[in-house]
Structure 1
């Protein structure tokens, strides 16, 4: 376990149902971690609201692109993204999510954490994405407990939950593909392996492309620079070229 930590590896523990149940991360992953924690804690509300606005614009935009790919029909997600205010005070995230999930699957589906299939597939994929995001943030010297929007006192990974939002459609796309190739409705080794491969999926920055796991590190580093005043926006990649 120490060797894993020394190599900044996120270790996920699963429960008896084989679902992710815990996360083990490096607490000493950056040489100026105390200074970065201080900057993060002192971040102003206007900054955090702007960062959350940008994050939700990216999420809704990505949902719209994926939905058009799947349904082959135009949608209004670009318009919804343009209506996101600072801090998303009008909750356009929820407006978009409501339409997104009603249209995404060919079956009657309601997105719930403990809901019916394929919620179990989505949950597993999101847990992998959350762990990879938390690892990247920890590696950039940031405190996962302190989010820019998520604030629950019981959530140790609030910042990871914030930053992973625009990347969720990668999991959605993978689950959609699995459903069209497999009749299995329970998680098995093969399906878990396919979901794990999201970490090596290619995403795109302006002049380069990289695996998702590397892109998350770049995104986390850019957030760190937002806290230290070197940047004004988080560097999110495009999920499709």
Structure 2
């Protein structure tokens, strides 16, 4: 079953009763409810949303990812369950003791798949993509030749229409805003799944930053990024240069967890695919598998 993504962009009071999320809308006075067990992602995007500690505890016990947004409506914080798996300490141990050659091999797989998905999206957008296939084929252990960066430089020049004169900069002009929003949702999904698979999201295979609590999420989300880019391409087709965030654009990006992807020869909602990816990573750490299962851009 795919878990629901709930988005709140208006003043609301959120509490819990009988394992339900109870929503009291402050503007209209109406009350709604939803089973907590159905919620995978809860996005709080208004400065006048209040929620109770009892609700927060139940959401986290259900492994719901709670995302808070700032006054510019950009996701800025995430909250997760710290105790996501029954065999957690055993899995932590395997992750902590992972050898450098294993981590380099896992990073090689990750970069190869990311570049292949970027190439597939360029092909879908009818852009020249063969150089990326060459880069993907030649990724070495640990991506020692930094093919990821070379591929990115080419990819970002080609993926969006020329009239946007696009440069990928976090705080740059649109559609950077749309990419950032989509990636924040993706990052939350991946971090949530890593916790559910008994892994530490902080301990990356490649990304290392003492100020980043989600280094492993940043690693594992890489091959999924082109799926966000695909939605942004669709938004650009419908809006041209007018890319300041609107409710309909936000709605399209909030569909990311439910979008269909191909993984291990099967079609699956992206949220479920992420769970398969993180479970396969845990097996790699434990020596039970050699390959991370990643999605392929169709």
1:194 aligns with 2:252: yes
Q: Return the match for 1:179 from 215, 221, 236.
A: 236
Q: Return the match for 2:66 from 2, 7, 11.
A: 11
Which digits, 9 at most, give the CA deviation of each residue in 1:37-63, with x for residues without a partner? 111111000000000000000000000
Give the number of the structure with larger relative contact order, counting CA–CA contacts within 8 Å between residues 6 or more apart: 1
Partners of 2:86 and 2:268 in 1: how far apart?
Answer: 25
Partners of 1:74 and 1:111 in 2: how far apart?
Answer: 19
Q: How many residues align?
A: 240
Q: Runs in 1 of length 4+ with deviation above 4 angstroms?
A: none
1:74–1:21 Cα change, 3 Å: closer
Higher share in strand:
2
- Alpha-carbon distance, 1:9 to partner: 0.8
Equivalent residue, structure 2, for 1:89 = 144
Structure 2 matches for 1:131-210, cutoff 5 A? 131-183=188-240, 184-210=242-268
1:134–1:74 Cα change, 3 Å: closer
Q: Return the match for 1:42 from 91, 97, 104.
A: 97
How much is the aligned-residue C-alpha RMSD, in angstroms? 1.1
- Alpha-carbon distance, 1:205 to partner: 2.5
Partners of 2:264 and 2:112 in 1: how far apart?
Answer: 18
Which digits, 9 at most, give the CA deviation of each residue in 1:127-166, with x for residues without a partner? 0000001011110010000000000111100000000000
1:71 aligns with 2:100: no
Q: List alignment gaps of at least 5 residues for structure 1.
A: none
**TM-score normalised by length of structure 2:** 0.79
Partners of 1:124 and 1:239 in 2: how far apart?
Answer: 20
Q: Is the 8 A contact 2:120 2:297 kept in 1?
A: no
- Alpha-carbon distance, 1:198 to partner: 1.3
1:213 aligns with 2:271: yes
Q: Return the match for 1:114 from 171, 175, 191.
A: 171
Partners of 1:16 and 1:206 in 2: how far apart?
Answer: 40
Partners of 1:74 and 1:235 in 2: how far apart?
Answer: 23
Computing the radius of gyration over CA atoms, which structure comes out larger, 1 or 2? 2
Q: Is the 8 A contact 2:127 2:159 kept in 1?
A: no
| SS of match in other structure, 2:78 | strand
**TM-score normalised by length of structure 1:** 0.97
Equivalent residue, structure 1, for 2:282 = 224
- Alpha-carbon distance, 1:74 to partner: 4.5
Q: Is the 8 A contact 2:223 2:295 kept in 1?
A: no
- Alpha-carbon distance, 1:182 to partner: 2.2
Higher share in helix:
1
Further displaced range: 67-76 or 21-30: 67-76
- Alpha-carbon distance, 1:69 to partner: 1.1
Q: Is the 8 A contact 2:264 2:293 kept in 1?
A: no
Further displaced range: 168-177 or 69-78: 69-78
Q: List alignment gaps of at least 5 residues for structure 2.
A: 1-55
